[in-house]
Structure 1
Amino acid sequence: MAGEAVAPNAADSVTESDTRGDGPVTRWPRSRVRRVAARSVLVVALLISAMAVCIPVACFIDDRTVDEARGEAVAEVVDTSLTRTVVRFSTPEGRVYIPPNGVLYPEGLQPKQLVRVEYDSRNPDLVRVAGRTAVLSLLPVAGLLAGTWVVLLPVYLLLRRRR
């Protein structure tokens, strides 16, 4: 054993290995990590923007569907919550409907309030408050888009900045 000597610079030739012992660990350079992080932030911002644009598009489609076969009724607001406002109304045929997804554009409605509604006579589960349209969805979506880009654009630019 005395004859087996370790070279003084032996530690320099040892490479790090991962926990499984499969081989050397490759580390990304800091610039590459920042570039990947910046692209990830940009992708998140673009995905949020794309989803936000889909909201008013869906609202305009729902409005067009209601307008194609519009029925009108007076509905009673049954319940309001953060996620939906439930109404109950009767059709001219005497059928009572309580749409499972609630009513479109319910802002300001209170329980037990009577409100005029318009519905798709082919599908009475699609109901909106009379006189309200998809235009009401534009302001909240614009706020969401502005907030997203006000927060994520500086983060993206900060990550892309060269040191």
Structure 2
Amino acid sequence: MADRTRMIDELTDLVGPAARAIVRIRARIVLGVAVVITLLCAFALAGAAVDDQKITANEGVARAEVLEGSTFFRTLVRFTVGNGDVRIPELGVAYPRGLTAGTSVDVEYDLTNPDRARVAGRSALTAAAPLIVVIVLTWAALLPVARRMRRRQNPRDPSRQ
């Protein structure tokens, strides 16, 4: 029994400082998660804008069929490019909201890379609204949590309230 108690005490001495350090910085960890989510959304929007610019710079237009097998993460389409090749972009089509399998839709694609395609008339602005909602909800949820953690850590410090 004494050996077991000693082992528990040693484990507490070993893990205790790390656990206390995590408790001290947990509010910063929560805010760090919010910052990472915000940056990921910003990079996603920037990537969409770059793709749009590349499509617009070398634009081709085609009629595409929305295929079965589409998922929430990608919508597959099949279209014929100017030289007669049939393309099914591996990553799907950009801005697919509202498309259903079996329907036809106009797509704009990059003539230099036909696998880069978007639904005609849609742009990175289409992706902006959902990403902004994600950012707002992230901060609305995590900022109060971080503030509450700081208050619990330093209940007498009025600057943290």
**TM-score computed with the length of structure 1 as normaliser:** 0.81
Work out which of the two has the higher radius of gyration on C-alpha atoms and give 1 or 2.
1
TM superposition outliers: structure 1 runs of 4+ over 6 Å: none
Distance 1:73 1:96 in 2: 11
SS of residue in 2 equivalent to 1:72? strand
Distance 2:74 2:24 in 1: 41
Structure 1 segments unaligned to the other structure (5+ residues) = 1-15
Q: What is the aligned length? A: 145
1:35 is displaced (CA, Å) by 2.4
1:52 is displaced (CA, Å) by 1.0
1:32 is displaced (CA, Å) by 4.8
Aligned residue in 1 for 2:74: 84
Of 47, 50, 55, 2:39 maps to 50
Distance 2:147 2:95 in 1: 37
1:42 is displaced (CA, Å) by 1.1
**TM-score computed with the length of structure 2 as normaliser:** 0.82
CA RMSD, aligned part only?
2.1
SS of residue in 2 equivalent to 1:93? coil
Give the share of equivalent positions with the same residue, in percent: 38
Of 11, 17, 30, 1:18 maps to 11
Q: How does 1:59-98 map to 2 (within 5 A)?
A: 59-79=48-68, 80-98=70-88
> Is the CA contact 1:72–1:118 (under 8 Å) kept in the aligned structure 2?
yes
Q: How does 1:1-163 map to 2 (within 5 A)?
A: 16-18=9-11, 25=14, 27-28=16-17, 32-79=21-68, 80-161=70-151, 162-163=154-155
Structure 2 segments unaligned to the other structure (5+ residues) = 1-8, 156-161
Aligned residue in 2 for 1:6: none
